[in-house]
């Protein structure tokens, strides 16, 4: 398949492009020549820099030879969305709309995989969360993702095959700051180097469902190949783990034992105590299951930060 990937220079995009190329897909990548971690992208792929917020620029993208679009681009960090909600809503919904409209204008409706979020679900819903669980967004980021889902449903009525993915928390090598594993890993490296004595943390009691980014990328490939149009799919491990487990796992890979200190700036206005999902539907339709161990993801993330700093 000829697959257009937006956000190809991001955390997930780098792994997704490699996954697609390794399975003999032709990739048109929208994103810079280097990933979010500063490393060069896949050598066999041509990267195009397009301002997706500019509908005129998006109109120059050729959709007529594109079989499918995997839309990753957008603002992904939950915390900053509380301080600038309109930026998240305008950006995440706007760039998706520009892509659909450009393809529509060219009379070329490729299959779309729209990446939403498992953070949409109602915190009080019965666990594990399934695709039928009730939705109550807990952040402006989540509201923007819900808006993306509704735009996909609208464009499905305009002739597009649309699949929606709701991934839960991503971890692994290549992640930028602003997420718990990356933030803790960077601080641990500073302790290893004698540049700090303690680690500043937010709420470590909250339990989340973490999946390795490489497993996430594989799920996206399988969904664009085998997913059913009009359906949405959870992508998750099915296992809740606390921030304490994340920190302990990183420290085990580091062999350091620093003190921790609470940091009010890392606390969120809304933080659900326990979230985890079910990937049964995804497994039934594509055969996907997570394969990379939680401990491996943490160890690889820490090693990645060592190579960057």
Predicted confidence (pLDDT) per residue in 198-244, tens digit: 999 988 999 999 999 999 999 999 999 999 999 999 999 999 999 99
The verdict on 126 and 149 lying in the same domain is yes
The pLDDT assigned to 241 comes to: 97
The verdict on 139 and 187 lying in the same domain is no
Angle, in degrees to the nearest 10, between helices 180-192 and 294-308 = 60
Residue 156 reports pLDDT greater than 90? yes
The pLDDT assigned to 41 comes to: 60
Token pair of 167 as six digits: 């991934």
> Region 161-183: what's the mean pLDDT?
96
pLDDT-wise least confident of 31-35, 54-58, 59-63: 31-35
The pLDDT assigned to 27 comes to: 96
The pLDDT assigned to 18 comes to: 95
Instruction: Identify the domain containing residue 141 by its residue range.
Output: 2-171+211-238+278-286
pLDDT tens by residue, 64-78: 999 999 999 999 988
The pLDDT assigned to 46 comes to: 82
The model's confidence at residue 265, banded by pLDDT at 50, 70 and 90, is confident
The pLDDT assigned to 62 comes to: 95
Our count of domains for the chain comes to 2
The pLDDT assigned to 295 comes to: 98
The verdict on 83 and 228 lying in the same domain is yes
> Region 107-130: what's the mean pLDDT?
95
CATH number, domain of 303, equals: 3.90.25.10
The verdict on 45 and 147 lying in the same domain is yes
Contact 281, 227 (CB under 8 A): no
> Region 266-293: what's the mean pLDDT?
89
The verdict on 103 and 156 lying in the same domain is yes
Residue 301 reports pLDDT greater than 70? yes
The pLDDT assigned to 42 comes to: 65
The pLDDT assigned to 255 comes to: 82
The verdict on 134 and 271 lying in the same domain is no
The pLDDT assigned to 205 comes to: 92
The pLDDT assigned to 123 comes to: 85
Is the model more confident about 175 or about 39? 175
The verdict on 26 and 71 lying in the same domain is yes
CATH number, domain of 139, equals: 3.40.50.720
The verdict on 144 and 188 lying in the same domain is no
The verdict on 94 and 228 lying in the same domain is yes
> Region 106-113: what's the mean pLDDT?
96
> Region 290-294: what's the mean pLDDT?
98
> Region 46-61: what's the mean pLDDT?
94
The model's confidence at residue 261, banded by pLDDT at 50, 70 and 90, is confident
The verdict on 148 and 201 lying in the same domain is no
The model's confidence at residue 262, banded by pLDDT at 50, 70 and 90, is confident
The model's confidence at residue 271, banded by pLDDT at 50, 70 and 90, is low
The model's confidence at residue 269, banded by pLDDT at 50, 70 and 90, is low
The verdict on 184 and 80 lying in the same domain is no
> Region 35-39: what's the mean pLDDT?
52
The pLDDT assigned to 34 comes to: 55
> Region 31-48: what's the mean pLDDT?
65
The pLDDT assigned to 43 comes to: 65
| Closest-CA residue to 294 (of 236, 221, 255, 219) | 236
């Amino acid at each position: 398949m000829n697959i257009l990937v937006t956000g190809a220079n991001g955390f997930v995009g780098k792994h997704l492009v490699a996954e697609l190329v390794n399975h003999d897909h032709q990739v048109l990548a929208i994103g810079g020549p280097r990933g979010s971690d500063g490393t060069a992208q896949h050598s066999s792929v041509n990267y195009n820099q397009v301002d997706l917020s500019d509908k005129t620029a998006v109109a120059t993208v050729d959709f007529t030879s594109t079989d499918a679009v995997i839309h990753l681009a957008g603002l992904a960090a939950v915390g900053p969305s509380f301080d600038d909600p309109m930026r998240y809503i305008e950006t995440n919904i706007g760039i998706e709309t520009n892509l659909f409209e450009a393809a529509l204008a060219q009379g070329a409706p490729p299959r779309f995989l729209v990446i939403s979020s498992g953070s949409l679900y109602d915190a009080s819903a019965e666990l594990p969360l399934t695709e039928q669980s009730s939705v109550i967004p807990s952040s402006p980021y989540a509201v923007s993702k819900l808006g993306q889902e509704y735009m996909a449903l609208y464009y499905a009525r305009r002739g597009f095959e649309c699949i929606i993915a709701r991934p839960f928390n991503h971890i692994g090598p290549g992640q930028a700051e602003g997420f718990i594993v990356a933030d803790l890993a960077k601080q641990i490296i500073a302790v290893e180097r004698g540049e700090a004595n303690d680690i500043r943390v937010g709420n470590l009691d909250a339990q989340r469902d973490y999946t390795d980014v490489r497993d996430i990328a594989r799920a996206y490939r399988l969904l664009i190949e085998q997913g059913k149009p009009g359906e949405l799919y959870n992508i998750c491990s099915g296992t809740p783990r606390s921030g304490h487990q994340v920190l302990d796992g990183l420290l085990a890979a580091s062999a350091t034992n620093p003190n921790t200190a609470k940091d009010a700036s890392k606390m969120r206005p809304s933080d659900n105590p326990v979230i985890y999902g079910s990937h049964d539907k995804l497994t039934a339709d594509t055969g996907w299951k997570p394969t990379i161990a939680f401990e491996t993801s943490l160890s690889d993330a820490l090693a990645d930060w060592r190579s960057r700093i």
